[in-house]
């Protein structure tokens, strides 16, 4: 944008107009718990790979290919992630001083989310506004603060409050809504084209999109007897974001009539920076919003020209969020992604999100992360932080086996995702680990059909009632050892009879070669008085080894535990622990065929499973599949770069055992899927079986496995999509899930690796 001093007559008119309209709006402050757990953008604002910001950081002069690409980015985002929003375009053309007689097209994007019962004309709306165009000059100008970053901030805010809006309005509908009462509140986003001047800022060479849209909204009448006469009158507050994203901004309060809203936002900034919440990332010498205590003028709003002016002239209330003075990069080629301050960008996104949530009265409708349990490390050792690294392990809930004829004996009730210990250094001698659980709800129907028809809904687990759920609580108390890099996570397996659980612990200070434990879960467990049985005081594949051994465990159909173990640079083998039968309590090692030496490395943080096409086949002959994983570079001993410098794979390996039970031949190693390239090479994901689907009762079976989460070298995979692997076909499909019902903020933020989510396509 460009500031201009306005003539005195226009200033007086605008001051009068600003006082003519007053909208009554409820405003409910958020609790500390809600504010602390609002979704964080994570790497969505990464200037190279961020799903929200990176696609906007290109030249986007009106009427050019870059402008169209950015507009399509906005539309794709809302169609994919926020389908309940209505999308509309307002088009216009205009001649410019730079194009002479040639008309330039301008496209404004209007995105609206209203209560589902609301009548046209009876909805007041908070409007979040930014322009998405960039200047013609200097050539190649990006305009990161002006206003790519503000657009991304608004997108994040919309996504963050969307599910809470749904929950609020669903509750209102359930409680009974008077559809004729009017004065409903909705949310609107205006992404405007043509804010910048093509040559010099004048009344006609600027604000092309805003002028056209304000006129069109003012000219469109609502039905007779509506609360609001036109769509323009429906705007309760026009909140304009511009020139945000540089370090240490100072944003004044420009308008006396909206100073109350400014003060609410300033209060939110202060709370986000407070020790009790401590969500803010930047540490400026003064608050972003510097006029919180302002009581009298001067009010500089009339002196500033921006996209709000055509709306202000028609009586709309304005909250203008623009720094004064402008950023040093203003209208320079250095206003690019490299000169953004990431902490400031994220803080503005969080402040905006919180303000929208309070304006829309969303307190009580956000999921709040709850610490269900914790384990404090023994021995006074300082826990080393493992980068920003999070691993998922998933257990499948099951009800007690029915074991009826023709039944699989296991009824799937859903998936439990556990974010394993996140080490948090408290001081030089003490550490603790926080444990978070997410329940991926699945109705007890045909799960493969259910996932296709209705997205899974991530929920925090408030209670744990079935034995497998108590098991995960048991894990919190059982495993209190710090994980060191390279990293092998704890694994929990449920026996086929649902009466026994196995816990495979990696190396720790108390058990350098790991342990295998068993826990009786046939009845309710007292989490304060656990008595696990030690089945194996050490894991043979870790005995005498250093930290270079990776292992991928999985449970066989018969209830044994198979482990693919080795290292990235040497031979691997399959170890099997026999839980029952003559070999009960023993580990057996079987080599892996040398014929596929290029595949034979074992990766850290891969996922394993057993699958057979034969319904009644010999469990000992069931192949093992290993998906993905990461291999640290052999020369890298720096744990701070271990994740970023590792090699990652998306291969699905198939380990086929010898054809005959007791045979000494090695496992045959091959690729198990033809289209694994649809996956981003990743590690730290989980893959969990859904209920099997039977082709016929006598010969063959198929199954589907849900892949969740994971990370790449530079980012975590967003949990707004899951991958579904179908075996024996080896094919992938991808389904959306309800995003952002997740623990939000800080180190627990789950972020996308690319604009396309999990599939790299």
Q: How many residues does the chain have?
A: 761
Q: What is the mean predicted confidence (pLDDT) over 334-358?
A: 98
Distance (Å, rounded) from C-alpha 757 to C-alpha 680? 9
> Which residues have C-beta within 8 Å of that of residue 214, sequence separation ≥ 6?
232, 310, 311, 313, 314
- Residue 340 reports pLDDT greater than 60: yes
- Judged by average pLDDT, the poorest of 103-117, 168-182, 327-341, 742-756 is 742-756
**φ, ψ at 381 (rounded to 5°):** -80, 145
Q: What are the CA-CA distances from residue 237 to residues 205, 272, 316, 735 (Å)?
A: 26, 23, 7, 37
CA distance 648 to 692: 30
Query: Is the predicted pLDDT of residue 725 greater than 50, yes or no?
Result: yes
- Marked catalytic residue, from 184, 242, 317, 704: 242
Write down the pLDDT at residue 618: 58
| pLDDT (mean) for 189-203 | 97
Taking residues 146-153, what's their average pLDDT? 98
Region 378-405: what's the mean pLDDT? 30
Q: What is the mean pLDDT of the chain?
A: 75
Identify the weakest region by mean pLDDT among 115-124, 409-418, 475-484. Answer: 409-418
Most confident of 207-216, 521-530, 605-614, 646-655: 207-216
Whether 424 shows a pLDDT value over 50: the answer reads no
Query: What does the pLDDT read at residue 760?
Result: 35
Residue in 672, 680, 682, 677 with CA at minimum distance from that of residue 730: 672
State how beta strands 123-131 and 235-241 pair.
Answer: parallel
Residue 255 predicted with pLDDT over 90:
yes
**What per-residue confidence (pLDDT) applies to 466?**
35
What is the arithmetic mean of pLDDT over 727-740? 67
| Residue 457 is among the residues annotated as catalytic for this protein | no
Mean pLDDT in residue range 413-421:
34
Question: Which pLDDT tens digit goes with each residue over 279-298?
Answer: 999 999 999 999 999 988 78
Query: What is the structure's pLDDT at 737?
Result: 62
Q: How far is CA 61 from the centre of its chain?
A: 31
Closest CA to 760 of 648, 630, 670, 672: 648
Higher pLDDT, 719 or 360: 360
CB 478 within 8 A of CB 492: no
> Sorting pLDDT into bands at 50, 70 and 90, what band is 578?
confident
Quickly state the pLDDT bin for 515 (edges 50, 70, 90): confident
Judge whether residue 313 has pLDDT over 50. yes
- Comparing 12-21, 103-112, 291-300, the range with the smallest average pLDDT is 12-21
Structure tokens, 316: 């709309």
For residue 173, pLDDT over 80 is answered with: yes
The stretch 741-748 carries a mean pLDDT of 32
Q: Spell out a b/e string for 560-571, using b for 16 or more CB atoms within 10 Å of the CB, else e.
A: bbbbbbbbbeee
Q: What does the radius of gyration of the chain's CA atoms come to, in whole angstroms?
A: 29
Say whether pLDDT at 419 is over 70.
no
**Which residue did the predictor score with more confidence, 312 or 604?**
312
Q: What is the pLDDT of residue 568?
A: 73
In the chain the domains, ranked by start, together with CATH numbers, are 8-174+184-359 (3.40.630.10), 373-748 (2.120.10)
For position 736, what pLDDT does the model report?
Answer: 67
- pLDDT, mean of residues 735-757: 38
Q: In angstroms, what CA-CA distances link 199 with 90, 202, 309, 693?
A: 24, 9, 19, 65
pLDDT of residue 600: 52
Res. 163: pLDDT tops 80: yes
When pLDDT is cut at 50, 70 and 90, the band that residue 590 belongs to is confident
Determine which one of 44, 114, 146, 195 is catalytic. Answer: 195
User: Up-side HSE of residue 68: CA atoms within 13 Å toward CB?
Assistant: 4
pLDDT digits (tens, 9 = 90+) for 199-217: 999 999 999 999 999 999 9
Average pLDDT in the 472-477 region?
37
Share of the chain above pLDDT 70, in %: 67
Q: What does the alpha-carbon distance between residue 503 and residue 511 come to, in Å, rounded to a whole number?
A: 14
Position 532 scores a pLDDT of 83
The per-residue pLDDT for 686 is 81
Which 8-state DSSP code applies to residue 263? H
Helices (H), 565-646: none
With 70 as the cut, is the pLDDT of residue 360 above it? yes
Q: Quick check: is 195 catalytic? A: yes
Poorest-pLDDT segment among 374-378, 572-576, 626-630, 638-642: 374-378
* pLDDT: which is higher, 189 or 715: 189
Which of 87-91, 480-484, 532-536 has the lowest average pLDDT?
Answer: 480-484
- pLDDT greater than 60 at residue 379: no
Average pLDDT over residues 412-424: 33
| Bridge partner residues of 647 (DSSP) | 631
pLDDT on residue 660: 60
């Amino acid at each position: 944008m460009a500031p201009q001093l306005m003539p005195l007559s226009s200033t007086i008119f605008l001051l009068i107009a600003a006082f003519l309209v007053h909208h009554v709006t409820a405003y409910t402050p958020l609790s500390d718990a809600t504010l602390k757990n609002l979704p964080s953008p994570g790497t969505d604002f990464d200037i190279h790979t961020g799903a929200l910001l990176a696609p906007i950081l290109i030249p986007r002069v009106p009427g050019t290919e870059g402008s169209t690409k950015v507009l399509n980015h906005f539309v794709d985002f809302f169609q994919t992630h926020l389908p309940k929003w209505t999308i509309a375009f307002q088009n216009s053309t205009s001649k410019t001083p730079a194009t002479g007689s040639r008309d330039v097209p301008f496209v404004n994007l209007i995105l609206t989310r209203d209560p589902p019962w609301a009548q046209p004309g009876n909805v007041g709306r908070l409007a979040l506004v930014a322009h998405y165009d960039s200047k013609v000059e200097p050539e190649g100008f990006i305009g990161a603060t002006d206003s790519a970053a503000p657009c991304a901030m608004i997108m994040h805010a919309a996504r963050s409050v969307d599910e809470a809006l749904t929950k609020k309005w669903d509750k209102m509908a359930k409680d009974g809504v008077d559809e004729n009462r009017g004065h409903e509140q909705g949310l609107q986003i205006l992404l405007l084209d043509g804010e910048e001047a093509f040559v010099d800022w004048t009344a006609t060479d600027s604000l092309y999109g805003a002028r056209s849209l304000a006129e069109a909204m003012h000219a469109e009448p609502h039905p007779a007897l509506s609360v609001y006469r036109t769509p323009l009158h429906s705007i309760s507050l026009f909140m304009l974001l511009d020139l945000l994203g540089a370090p240490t901004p100072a944003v004044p309060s420009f308008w006396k009539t909206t100073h109350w809203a400014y003060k609410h936002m300033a209060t939110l900034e202060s709370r986000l920076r407070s020790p009790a919440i401590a969500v803010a990332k930047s540490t400026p010498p003064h608050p972003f919003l510097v006029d919180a205590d302002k009581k009298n003028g001067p009010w500089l709003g009339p002196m500033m020209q921006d996209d709000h002016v055509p709306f202000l002239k028609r009586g709309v209330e304005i909250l203008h969020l623009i720094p004064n003075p402008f950023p040093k990069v203003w209208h320079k080629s250095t206003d690019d992604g490299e000169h953004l301050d990431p902490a400031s960008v994220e803080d503005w996104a969080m402040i905006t999100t919180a303000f929208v949530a309070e304006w829309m009265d969303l307190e009580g409708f956000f999921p709040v992360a709850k610490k269900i349990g914790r384990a404090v490390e023994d021995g006074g050792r300082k826990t080393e932080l493992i980068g920003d690294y999070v691993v998922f392990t998933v257990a499948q809930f099951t009800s007690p086996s029915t074991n009826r004829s023709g039944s699989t004996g296991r009824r799937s009730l859903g998936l439990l995702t556990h974010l394993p210990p996140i080490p948090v250094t408290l001081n030089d001698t003490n550490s603790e680990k926080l444990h978070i659980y997410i329940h991926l709800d699945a109705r007890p129907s045909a799960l493969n059909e259910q996932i296709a028809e209705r997205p899974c809904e991530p929920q925090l687990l408030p209670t744990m009632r079935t034995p497998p759920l108590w098991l995960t609580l048991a894990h919190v108390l059982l495993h209190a050892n710090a994980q060191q890099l390279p990293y092998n996570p704890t694994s929990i397996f449920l026996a086929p009879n649902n009466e026994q659980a196995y816990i495979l612990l990696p190396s720790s200070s108390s058990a350098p070669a790991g342990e295998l434990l068993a826990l009786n879960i046939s009845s309710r467990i007292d989490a304060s008085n656990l008595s696990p049985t030690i089945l194996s005081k050490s894991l043979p594949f870790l005995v005498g080894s250093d930290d270079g051994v990776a292992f991928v465990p999985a449970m066989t159909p018969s209830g044994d535990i198979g482990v693919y173990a080795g290292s990235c640079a040497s031979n691997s083998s399959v170890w099997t622990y026999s839980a029952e039968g003559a070999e009960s309590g023993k580990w057996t090692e079987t080599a892996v065929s040398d014929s596929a030496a290029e595949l034979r490395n074992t990766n850290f943080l891969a996922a394993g499973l057993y699958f057979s096409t034969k319904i009644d086949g010999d469990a000992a002959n069931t192949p093992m599949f290993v998906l993905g994983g990461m291999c640290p570079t052999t020369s890298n001993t720096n744990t701070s770069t271990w994740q970023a410098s590792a090699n990652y794979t998306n291969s699905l390996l198939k380990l086929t055992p010898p054809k005959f039970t007791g045979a000494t031949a090695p496992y045959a190693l091959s690729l198990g899927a033809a289209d694994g390239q649809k996956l981003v090479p990743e590690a730290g994901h989980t893959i969990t079986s859904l209920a099997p689907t039977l082709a016929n009762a006598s010969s063959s079976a198929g199954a589907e496995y849900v892949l969740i989460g994971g990370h790449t070298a530079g980012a975590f995979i967003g949990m707004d999509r899951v991958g579904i692997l179908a075996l024996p076909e080896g094919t992938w499909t991808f389904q959306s899930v309800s995003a952002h019902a997740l623990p939000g903020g800080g180190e627990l933020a789950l972020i996308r690796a690319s604009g396309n989510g999990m599939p790299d396509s």
